[in-house]
Structure formats: structure tokens, C-alpha cells
Amino acid sequence: MAEGRSEEDKDDRTMKRLLLTTNCLLLTIGTSGGPLVMRLYFLHGGHRVWLSSFLETAGFPLMLLPLAVSYLRRRRTASAAGTAKPKLISMKPPLLAASTFIGILTGLDDYLYAYGVARLPVSTSALIIATQLGFTAFFAFLLVRQKFTAYSINAVVMLTVGAGVLALHTSGDRPPGESVKEYVMGFVMTVIAAALYGFPLTYSLVMEIQFVMCFSATLFCLLGMIINNDFKVIPREAKQFEHGEGSYYAVLVGSAIIWQAFFLGAIGVIFCASSLFSGILIAVLLPVTEVLAVIFYKEKFQAEKGVSLLLSLWGMVSYFYGEIKHSRKRKKKNSDPEAEPSQYS
């Protein structure tokens, strides 16, 4: 029996590592590619902020596939164990209502972020979004009592300082033809978007919740599109797009798919690890977005961005070192029941 349980535990750990790796990959694609594709839309003739915010969650039907796989697995497990067939929808009304509310907040966050991307260079909006790590850490501690260690605190500080360093000398990043007021509004909107993103990140624990959140956010942005008459403008905007009508719709579809990879990756990383780890991974990937913006959009790469990249890598190494050290202490504690509780935990 003990050997059987040991094998099951080993299989579970292997599956969890595989899921974590897959979701980290999805999160990497979404975090690095999402802002670039969204900015591509605005750089070459797109002007609809509500449309861009709508596309951030419009790919939510893609989540039906993993949800269906998850349900079939639960059903097969229940059948093998001789237990009752699982419900198709496991969420209860209070959780559904909470997820819908957070989804509306996500829709507002989508709009604020899209507004910022429309006004700011990718390198600038990306560095502002890095501040979401501090908000995520605060909400994780406040709402779910996320435990902090010297290593995770150091990681948060390094990544936040890295974002602060990038904030230096950004005044020269204002795009041609854009007023100071529009630039400042974009800056402020992006900061608020970072704060709002830190809140729902601590609650999204299962794909069903994420599905409801994305559905609610999409409806919120769809309402904004209707009020703003976006559907009447889209055909004309597509014809005026610099790279052609076909490229216009390809950018829209690509944006929806890449942003859905971001949301799927984020929920998966939170489920397999923690909301704080998800926030740190997003912050670490932001300098990658900076480099890609320099390559594809010829944005300036000042010395401050290099320093930020170094600080971000330092923060990530600190976090992983703390996790490895904590894991070793936990294993030692489990193998020695008489051992004193670890101060780290």
C-alpha cells in the first residue's frame, strides 16, 4: 500500500511539473506577444480602444477544450472508483456571482490597459505594468495570507526597483503627434490597470472561474464597443489599415488568441504554484518584451532598460533559490517528525 501511494504521489508531482511548464510557456507567449500585437494594431491605423480591450478576453471559448478534458477525466475517475458522476458545472451561485464581479473588473482593467498601449510605447507601458507585482503581493498577503520569506521579498523589491529604473528618462518616449495630456493619461491609465490586475490574480484558482471572468469581461467590453459605435467603424478601419484588410483581421484574431494564452497561462501557474509566482514570472518577462519592442518597433533601449533586465533576473534567481531552500527544509522536516519547525516557513 505504501509503495502504491508513493507511486501515485510521484505521478502527481510529475503531472504538476508538466502542467506548470506548459502554463509557464503559455504565459510567456501571452505576456511577451500580447502587448506587441496590440501595439501593432495602433501603430498601423487602428484607433478603437474598446475593440482592443474586447480582444483581450474574446478568446475565452478556447477554454472550453481544457474544461471538457478536465470533466472527462473526472468522470472517468469517478466511474473507476464507483462514485457518483461529477457535475458538469461545479461552481456554486455565490462563487459564480463573485467570478462575474471580478470579470467586470477585469473588463475595466482591459480597457485601461488598452488605453495605455494606444498612447504609450510598448517599452513604457510594459515597465508600468511591472508594478502589478507589488499590488499582487499586497493582495495575496491581505486576502489569502500568502506567506513571505526574505527571498520572495527580495524578489519583489528587485523587480519593482527594476521597473522604477526603467521609469527614468521616459519623457522622450512620447510618440510624434501625441499631446502631453494624452501621454500622461495613458501613463495614469496603465498604472491603474496594474493595480486592478493585482486584485483578481489572487482569486483565479480554477479554469471555470477564469472562464466566467473572461466571459463577463468580454460582455463588458462588448457593451463599450456598442456604445462607441465600433462595429460601424471596423470595416472602414480595416480598409484603411496600412498592411491591408486581410492583415487587419489577422491582427485582431492573433491578438485574441495570444491574450487567451496569457489568461490560460496565468490561471495555470497560479493553480500549480501561487499568485505571487505568477506575478514574478510576468514581471521577469517584461524586459523580454522590452527587447522585442526594440527589435520590431525600433524603440530606444537606454542603459536603464539594461539595468532593469539585470535586476529582474536577480529577483527571479532569488525567488527560485528561496523555493529550493524551502523545499529542502520541508523534506527534512517530513523525514524527521521530531525536528523543530522551520523559521523559513
SS3 205: coil
345 residues of the chain, pLDDT tens digit each:
555 555 555 656 777 788 888 889 999 999 899 999 999 999 998 999 999 999 999 999 988 887 787 778 778 877 777 777 777 777 788 888 888 998 998 899 999 999 989 988 887 777 677 666 667 666 767 766 667 777 777 777 776 777 667 656 555 566 776 777 777 777 778 777 877 766 654 533 467 778 888 999 999 999 999 999 999 999 999 999 999 999 999 999 999 999 999 888 887 887 777 766 777 787 778 778 878 888 888 877 677 767 777 777 777 677 767 767 777 777 777 765 554 444 334
DSSP string, 86-113: PPS----HHHHHHHHHHHHHHHHHHHHH
DSSP state of 300: -
Phi, psi of 98 (to 5 degrees): -65, -40
Looking up cell 451561485 gives 93
* 130, three cell numbers: 511591472
* Cα distance between residue 205 and residue 143, in whole Å: 13
pTM for this entry: 0.76
Largest distance between two CA atoms of the chain: 73
